[in-house]
Amino acid sequence: MPLRSIRVVDLSRYAPGPYCTMLLADLGADVIAVEEPPGRGRRVDEAMGVDARTKAFLPFGRNKRSIVLDLKKQPMREVFFRLVERADVVVEGFRPGVAKRLGVDYEAARARNPRIVYCSISGFGQTGPLADLVGHDLSYISVAGALASIGTAGGPPAIPLNVLGDFAGGGLFAAFSILAALLARARTGRGQYIDLAMTDGVLSLLSLAAAEYFATGRVPERGRYYLAGGLPCYNVYETADGRWLAVACMEPWFWKNLCEALGRPDLSSEQFNRERFGELFDFLRAKFKEKTRDEWFAELRDREVCVAPVYQLDEALDSQHARARGMVTAVEHPAFGEIRQVGIAPKFSETPG
C-alpha cells in the first residue's frame, strides 16, 4: 500500500478532516483518530437523526485506530504529544485559534517533532477578514462564488450536496497538500504547516470560470453560463418516465451525431447559434419526452453521442458499472453485521489500497 509507512494523528471532527484522513488510511496510512469524550457531539447527532447504526455506515472511521482524549487536560495533551513524536502528520479542523488555546497547535507539535507535517483545515483560513467567521459547506461555496452560479435562470441559487466545499475544496485538497508536504520533507528533512481554507479550495475549483471572468469581465449567470445550463447541447432533459438524460455534446462532432440520431441533421450547424437556442431547447425537450431515459440511453450509447442517464444515488450505487469498478464494498461490523460503504476511487496497479 503506497502510504503504509506514514502515521497520521487526526484531531478533526466534521466531514472535511475525517474524509481527508480516510483517503490517507485507504492507501495504507496508520491513522489514529483522537476522539472527544463520549457525549459531546450527541446533541448534534440527535438533532440530525444520526443514531449508532447510521454512524456505523459512515466511512470516515474505516482503516483507522482511535483514542479518546480530553485535550483540555494536561495529562491527555501529553498523550497527544507522545503520539506526535512518532507521527508524520497531524490534521486538525478547529476554528482558527482553538488549537493554540488548547496547546496543540503547530508550534507546540513542531517543538516535539520538527519533521511533523501539520495541516489545519478551516472554512476561511487562518488569516484574512473572514478567518473567525463560523460556517459550513454552504457558507464556503457562497463566499467562494460557486453557489451564485448554480441553479436555473431566474431562480434562487440551488444548494448542492456538500461535495464542493467539505470534500473537494476541503478534504481532497488537504490530502493532496499533505502528500506534497511529505515529498518536500523527503528532500529537506523538515516538516511544515499547511493552512487549508475550504473557500480557497473552492475558488481553485472555479479556475475555468474565473479565467473567463478575468478575460471578458462576464460573470457566470445561473442557468445561462455555458457549462451550467446555458447551452442546448450541454443540458439535462426530462424523458417519458419522468427521469432525466444528460446531454453533453460540447464537441461539434458529438452534436452532429446527436442531431442525426434524432432525425434533425439540419440542426448540426446551429449548435452555438444563440438566435436559435429557443428552438433547439424546444425541440430537444419535446423529443426526449418520446421515450424513457433507459430507452434513450440504450439507443444512443453506441452512436458516439455524449449522453448519460441521470441516476439517483441508489441507482448509481447499485449499477453494474459501480460494481465492476469496486466502488461499493461490504465490511463486517461487530454490532451491525455486514454494512456497505463506497470503495476506494484510485486503482493502483502495484500498491492497491
Catalytic residues: 136, 166
Q: For residue 168, what is the DSSP state?
A: I
Cα-Cα-Cα-Cα dihedral sign, residues 245, 250, 254, 260: positive
| DSSP track, 2-61 | TTTT-EEEE---STHHHHHHHHHHHTT-EEEEEEPPTTTTHHHHHHTT--HHHHHH-GGG
185: left (phi over 0), alpha (psi -120 to 50) or beta: alpha
Rounded CA separation 33/53 (Å)? 20
- Count the neighbouring beta carbons within 10 Å of the beta carbon of residue 230: 17
Confirm if 52 and 132 have CB atoms less than 8 A apart: no
Q: At what angle are helices 173-188 and 198-205 packed, to 10 degrees?
A: 100
| Bridge partners (DSSP) listed for residue 10 | 33, 91
Dihedral angle of Cα 282, 285, 287, 291, to the nearest 10 degrees: -170
What is the identity of the amino acid at 233?
C
Confirm if 115 and 140 have CB atoms less than 8 A apart: no
Comparing CA positions, the residue from 276, 274, 275, 250 lying closest to residue 264 is 276
All cell numbers assigned to 137? 459547506
Confirm if 185 and 175 have CB atoms less than 8 A apart: no
Strand bridging mode 7-10 / 30-35: parallel
Strand bridging mode 89-92 / 64-68: unpaired
At 98, which helix (H) or strand (E)? helix 98-102
Residue where the block lists cell 463520549: 38
